[in-house]
Amino acid sequence: MTTTEVTTHSDDTVLLERHGAVATVIINRPKRRNALTAPARVGLRAALTALAVDTSVRAVVLTGAGGHFCAGQDLAEHAAVLQADPSHAFDTVEADYSPTVRLLSTMAKPVIAAIEGSCVGAGLGFALACDLRVVSTAASLSTAFSSIGLTCDSGLAHSLPRAVGDAKARELILLARPLSGAQADAVGLVTSLVDPGAALATATELAISLAAGPTHAYAESKQLLAGAFSRTLDENLAEEARAQARAGATSDHATAVRSFLAKATPTFIGR
């Protein structure tokens, strides 16, 4: 039987559940559509930092409680900070949002976003920093920033053009129109489009499958893709060759070759 461990961070605003080799990070402010206050931002960074170095965890699911993914920054908190200390109102971008996106993007294991309801602003940035996105047809995704007089952050200037192309990214950022789950799927933001209420179960099933896969090879692939647009063809070919040599030296590769020759299914250990 698989054991489940639940850890709370920052006054229960972030929950961390472990089911075998799969960890699920839950933003837990359902009454506010999981909008992010300081404790939630700190808790999310703490949970992801711990998972990044935990080799027993081989896949991560990021989701929100109560039928929403994340509505971005809590604007009530933001308004209070603007009034009390306007010169530092945006320190949180570099202190919290950018590090969270970096943790999601660079984690050496697959990360899947399970998206129901609101996925807005920084929430969309977090979702696009994940490798895969399971999205409900009832979800609503939006950059949102321009509607409150701001530019984008949380990696959207990096991730959105890569996902949908420059022209569509400009449209989504400047107009900030919400996309339904089906519309997000049509522009290329969605890995799997599911019925309302099914995002977490589907993402978890996918994570279980990935957690049984060649974790080291996944990490090498993520790293190759992360830098692909900034390298020339020759540089990419050289990086691929080096990464392939490292992957080829793993136990997982040796096991897979033996299993193929024996017409058996390989069991990967992630290294």
Q: What confidence category does residue 2 fall into, taking pLDDT thresholds of 50, 70 and 90?
A: very low
Give the pLDDT score at 113.
Answer: 99
Identical fold for domains 4-211 and 215-261, yes or no, is: no
Measured distance CA(184)–CA(145) in Å, rounded: 18
Q: What percent of the chain has pLDDT over 90?
A: 92
Q: Which fold has domain 215-261?
A: Lyase 2-enoyl-coa Hydratase; Chain  A, domain 2 (1.10.12)
Give the pLDDT score at 9.
Answer: 57
Q: Which amino acid, 105?
A: S
| Residue carrying the six token digits 């701001």 | 150
168-172: long-range contacts, CB 8 A cutoff, minimum separation 24: 172/142, 172/143
Measured distance CA(144)–CA(211) in Å, rounded: 34
Q: Could you give the C-alpha distances from 51 to 16, 38, 82, in angstroms and in order?
A: 10, 20, 33
* Those residues with Cβ within 8 angstroms of residue 164's Cβ, 6 or more apart along the chain or in another chain: 172, 187, 188, 189
Give the pLDDT score at 25.
Answer: 98
Please, is 216 exposed, middle or buried when counting C-beta atoms within 10 Å of its C-beta (0-12, 13-18, 19+)? Answer: buried
Mutual orientation of helices 251-261 and 233-248 as an angle, nearest 10°?
80
Ordered DSSP codes for 143-161: --GGGGT----TTHHHHHH
Average pLDDT, the chain: 95
| Residue carrying the six token digits 């320190």 | 91
Instruction: Tell me if the domain spanning 4-211 has CATH number 3.40.50.300.
Output: no
Q: What is the pTM of this model?
A: 0.93
Give the pLDDT score at 3.
Answer: 43
Q: What confidence category does residue 10 fall into, taking pLDDT thresholds of 50, 70 and 90?
A: low
Q: Per residue in 184-242, pLDDT tens?
A: 999 999 999 999 999 999 999 999 999 999 999 999 999 999 999 999 999 999 999 99
Q: Which amino acid, 171?
A: E
- Asked if residues 15 and 40 have their Cβ atoms less than 8 Å apart, the reply is no
Domains in the chain: boundaries: 4-211, 215-261
Tell me what the mean pLDDT of segment 44-64 comes to.
Answer: 98
Q: Per residue in 108-149, pLDDT tens?
A: 999 999 999 999 999 999 999 999 999 999 999 999 999 999
Q: Quote the Cα angle for 131-152-10, to 5°.
A: 65
Measured distance CA(91)–CA(188) in Å, rounded: 32
Give the pLDDT score at 4.
Answer: 53
- Asked if residues 173 and 143 have their Cβ atoms less than 8 Å apart, the reply is yes
Strand partners, 80: none
